[in-house]
Structure 1
Amino acid sequence: MTQQPPEYPQYPTQSPQPSVPPQYPQSQQPPQYPQAPQYPTQAPPQYPQSSPFQQAAQPPQYPQTPPPAPTAPPAPPAPAAHPHHISTDHGRVHIRSDQRRTDVTAVGSLLLHLPNFLCSLFVVGLVSLFFGGFGIVVILAWLASGALVFHRPTESAVARRLLRLRYPTPQERAKLEPVWREVTARAGIEGRTYELWVEDSDGLNAVAAAGHIVGVTRFAMNELPNGELAAVMAHELGHHVGGHAWAGLLGYWYALPGRIAWRVLKAFSSVVFHVSKAFGCIGVGVVVVVIGSITLATISSLYGLPLLVLAVPYALAAVGRRSELRADEHAAALGFAPMLAAVLGKLHQQEQQTEAALTAANGGVKPEESALSKLLSSHPDYYTRLHHLQPYLQQPH
């Protein structure tokens, strides 16, 4: 018998109808809410288009090498510096407390001028008699006039009139001042105390005069290496530091009235002698007796001091030679001994050339210098000066 399948419940095939939404009244509006505040918008930051990593990834760019230029001929080597060229870029060193002194040669020069001073005082005393009661004023004024040696305007007049110097041009000053600063720095001297002058001469020379004058020739300034020029200036500074310059000028100043009187007497005696020759031997004898009597009376009244005047030039020349050696030592002590020796060699060559010219003009006969002329020389000879420089030349540098 067959079994019937079970019957399952039947479900509706249509879905139920959805419920109708509720109807709200049309007049009622939805609530209005306040709008949110508007803030200013900012633009987004701009970043570089490529990063360092991207740049690093790119292959490096190398500059293109230009084509080789045509090779120029090699320049000639620069000339070697002169062995006596010095550097003037050093700073100032310690300034000494004693800027100048009076050494033995300066004192000796003043003492040797004493007879000349007394003769001049006698002459000024005779002249003061013509002024009556104001004669003592004349004598005192002459005695006080020695202070003019250190008076700058008077020094300028002496430099121009007696020494034939002039002020350097700006170009010349640019050459002289660095060298002068180096010299004074080594010596510990205030360089602005002194004035630089130039002599229009083609000879190798320099001068130190009065209290503040330092002069060099145009030849020394333009032709010498700056080391040799510094040696020349250091030598002249030695004259100032030792007191040689002002002592010499002071003695010359106080001896001037006596010198003028002596020249007047020589001229007067020459005129009288020529006039007396017209009267024969008797007239000449009378003139000789009168002049001799006056001379003897003068010598006896002044205790023989006028006789010392005859020996003063030789003694002053000896002191002058000694002052030159001391000035050489001053320059050598500052480190300029080799340069100074070279300058002395050039001076010796000039002397030899002058001597050769005189020999040629004298028909080949060499002129001989007398012993008295050597004693009157104010400068030592070349070999003497070079001998005194040997201790400084032998020192290790």
Structure 2
Amino acid sequence: APALHPHDPSHPHHISTDPRRIHLSDSQRGADATAIGNLLLYLPHFLCSAFVMALVSLVFGGLGVIVFVAWLLSGALVFHRPTESAIARRLLRLRYPTAQERARLEPVWREVTARAGVEGRNYELWVEDTDSLNAVAAAGHIVGVTRFAMNQLPNGELAAVLAHELGHHVGGHAWSSLLGYWYALPGRIAWRVLRAVSTAIFKVSRLFSCVGMGIVILVFGSIALATISTLYGLPLLILAMPYALAAVGRRAELRADQHAAALGFAPMLAAVLDKLHQAEQQQQAQAAAIAAYHGNPPPQESPLSKLLSSHPDHYTRLHHLQPYLHPTR
């Protein structure tokens, strides 16, 4: 039998989006354990950034306190709508949907938020002009979806994708990640500058004698030791943070999957995960073919790269969906 068109009402993953009465939940959003854990993991980054900003504020003399306090208060921009829009447009490459796209998205979004008991008008729907299957929960109020997902998925599967992203918002994952990243930024910039300077000095020192190399190592070793002792070893702790943050990110994805499944979208979400898995396998097959053509072994994912992955693997996500796909009687 020929495959059904994604927009065909007879498609098994087509859902009704007729308007109906909405019962709003008392709790519209919050911060679950995953969001709180994410913020706690960013604490060493925040303290290092505070140390950097304290050093920067010394340059401004009497105005240094104002500079430091302004940086502390700048985190409120995460919840500022115009700032959110700028992040969505400049960093995430999202845009407002056209009238035709809005007609496709809004009924599905209305059904998702109705099932969740959430006021859908609190959020903004944006579109990413790519031909990949993806969506994003950005800042505090933005839900972005790719043009491919919007046009090629049955509305039930599109609803599952949107419900997943709504789960990130309801659980506080989106704003906590952005807030943590923002306050970690000064420390990240300082680290990159220090690394660039040390690399340049190391290259210059190689032009001189071993004595010059020893002096460079002694100076930077002293700075590193002073930093570690002053900040109670936080720089060493930060080396493990990418792995811990990735683990929390994977947990956030499972919580968002659970949110979508609890709203009745488990079969649709499983179908979306299968499509993502197939696309990933095709990419791996193409990479292996290119490597074989050049006489190289196929690329293999290292254990460390798996630990740094922000998303669980396909089988883990499907395993956590099983209670919703096959509920016990």
Instruction: Give the TM-score band, short-chain normalised.
Output: over 0.9
State how far apart, in whole Å, the 1-side matches of 2:247 and 2:154 are.
31
Q: Which residue of 2 aligns with 1:18?
A: none
State how far apart, in whole Å, the 2-side matches of 1:156 and 1:92 are.
30
Q: Which runs of 5+ in 2 are unaligned?
A: 1-7
**Deviation at residue 284 of structure 1 after TM alignment:** 2.1
**Deviation at residue 306 of structure 1 after TM alignment:** 1.3
Residues 1:262 and 2:194 are matched in the alignment: no
**Deviation at residue 366 of structure 1 after TM alignment:** 2.3
State how far apart, in whole Å, the 1-side matches of 2:242 and 2:253 are.
16
Secondary structure at the aligned position of 1:186 is classed as helix
**Deviation at residue 92 of structure 1 after TM alignment:** 3.1
**Deviation at residue 80 of structure 1 after TM alignment:** 7.0
**Deviation at residue 94 of structure 1 after TM alignment:** 0.7
Residues 1:378 and 2:307 are matched in the alignment: no
State how far apart, in whole Å, the 1-side matches of 2:306 and 2:57 are.
39
Residues 1:234 and 2:163 are matched in the alignment: yes
Q: Which residue of 1 aligns with 2:224?
A: 295
State how far apart, in whole Å, the 2-side matches of 1:166 and 1:329 are.
28
Secondary structure at the aligned position of 1:295 is classed as helix
Q: Which residue of 2 aligns with 1:326?
A: 255
Cα distance 1:173–1:80, how it changes in 2: closer, same or farther (>3 A)? closer
Secondary structure at the aligned position of 1:147 is classed as helix
State how far apart, in whole Å, the 2-side matches of 1:280 and 1:82 are.
74
Secondary structure at the aligned position of 1:369 is classed as coil
Please give the residue correspondences for 1:282-361 in structure 2 after superposition, counting only pairs within 5 Å. 282-361=211-290
Secondary structure at the aligned position of 2:237 is classed as helix
Specify which structure has the higher proportion of helix.
Answer: 2
Letter in 1 for 2:319: H
**Deviation at residue 374 of structure 1 after TM alignment:** 0.6
**Deviation at residue 270 of structure 1 after TM alignment:** 1.1
Q: Which runs of 5+ in 1 are unaligned?
A: 1-78
Question: What are the Cα deviations for residues 220-254 of structure 1, in whole angstroms up to 9, with x where unaligned?
Answer: 00100100000000000000000000000000000
Please give the residue correspondences for 1:100-111 in structure 2 after superposition, counting only pairs within 5 Å. 100-111=29-40
Residues 1:121 and 2:53 are matched in the alignment: no
Q: Which residue of 1 aligns with 2:132?
A: 203
Question: With CA pairs under 8 Å and 6+ residues apart, which has the higher RCO, 1 or 2?
Answer: 2
Q: Which residue of 1 aligns with 2:3?
A: none
Q: Which residue of 2 aligns with 1:137?
A: 66
Residues 1:89 and 2:18 are matched in the alignment: yes
Q: Which residue of 2 aligns with 1:183?
A: 112
**Deviation at residue 365 of structure 1 after TM alignment:** 2.6
**Deviation at residue 93 of structure 1 after TM alignment:** 2.3
Question: What are the Cα deviations for residues 188-226 of structure 1, in whole angstroms up to 9, with x where unaligned?
Answer: 000000000000111100000110010000100010010
Question: What are the Cα deviations for residues 157-208 of structure 1, in whole angstroms up to 9, with x where unaligned?
Answer: 0001111111111111110000000000000000000000000111100000
**Deviation at residue 396 of structure 1 after TM alignment:** 8.4
State how far apart, in whole Å, the 1-side matches of 2:21 and 2:291 are.
53
Identity of aligned residues (%): 75
**Deviation at residue 266 of structure 1 after TM alignment:** 1.1
Q: Please, what is the CA RMSD of the aligned residues?
A: 1.3
State how far apart, in whole Å, the 2-side matches of 1:319 and 1:137 are.
34
TM-score by structure 1 length? 0.79
